[in-house]
Amino acid sequence: MDNFKIQVAGKGHLKYVAEIERAIIQASKVKGTGIAKRSQQYLIEKITQGKAVIATSNRNQFAGFCYIETWGHEKFVANSGLIVMDEFRGQGLAMEIKETAFRLSRELYPTAKIFGLTTSLAVMKINSTLGYKPVTFSELTDDDAFWKGCQTCTYYDILFRTNRALCLCTAMLYDYEKEEKKIIDQGEKKINGKKNRKPSINLLDYLAVKKKKPLDI
């Protein structure tokens, strides 16, 4: 099993941009991924702004990537473009990248709702573990710029024909207010001696148990 370094991407990682772009383009061509294409310039901006997470192997090979986008005046955040290179799959790397991107999103935009669109069952499972819930498209951002970004996706015609009401992608949302209120309510029940239902696993619970390490920027 490989050892990976997962961190917030910086200028030192710009050398991987061409490889990241190729990986995203390849993933966008695979039926069932629902990943939108992104240009090298777009990726460079995300990396230099500190809004991307990259994974590299102990041999400094590019292993995986994810970036952060904000919409609706930063009321909504999306962790997009999650990819893991074929040779590094099956080692839990996608979960670690997504977890790091989630933490970064919460640190940069603590009051924003975090959402995603995906057709990948693996990504849905990761999102569920982090506390995301399936929602209708109407609960996502109404920012036209976000939906315009879907134009490079294979399934855009479905989204367009249904006036952004339906697609093959599943919409998932992490609402920090609801999740944190749930944790507080469950804590109060336990304190009051009432039966405390075991909460669903989400990242806030996870980080409270696992010693939280600062993001490597």
Residue with tokens 């696993």: 201
Q: Give the whole-angstrom CA distance, residue 8 versus residue 13.
A: 10
pLDDT tens figures, 20-79: 999 998 888 775 566 778 899 999 999 999 999 999 999 999 999 999 999 999 999 999
Work out the average pLDDT over 81-104. 95
Fold of 4-209: Aminopeptidase (3.40.630)
Alpha-carbon distance of 185 to 200, in angstroms, equals 13
For the cut 50, the answer to whether the pLDDT of residue 109 exceeds it is yes
- pLDDT-derived band at 212 (thresholds 50, 70, 90) equals very low
The two three-digit tokens of residue 90, written as one number: 């099956």
Model confidence at 209: pLDDT above 70 = no
- List Cα–Cα distances, 25 to 38, 162, 216, in angstroms: 8, 26, 27
Stated pTM of the model: 0.77
The whole-angstrom separation of Cα 34 and Cα 118 is 6
DSSP state letters, 27-54: HHHSTT--PPP--HHHHHHHHHTT-EEE
pLDDT in tens, 159-170: 888 887 778 788
What rounded mean pLDDT belongs to the chain? Answer: 84
Residue 13 pLDDT more than 90?
Answer: yes
Domain ranges of the chain: 4-209
- What does the alpha-carbon distance between residue 201 and residue 217 come to, in Å, rounded to a whole number? 27
Whether the Cβ atoms of residue 169 and residue 35 lie closer than 8 Å to each other: no
Q: Which pLDDT does position 68 carry in this prediction?
A: 96
Burial category of 199 from C-beta neighbours within 10 Å (exposed 0-12, middle 13-18, buried 19 and up): middle
CA distance 27 to 16: 16
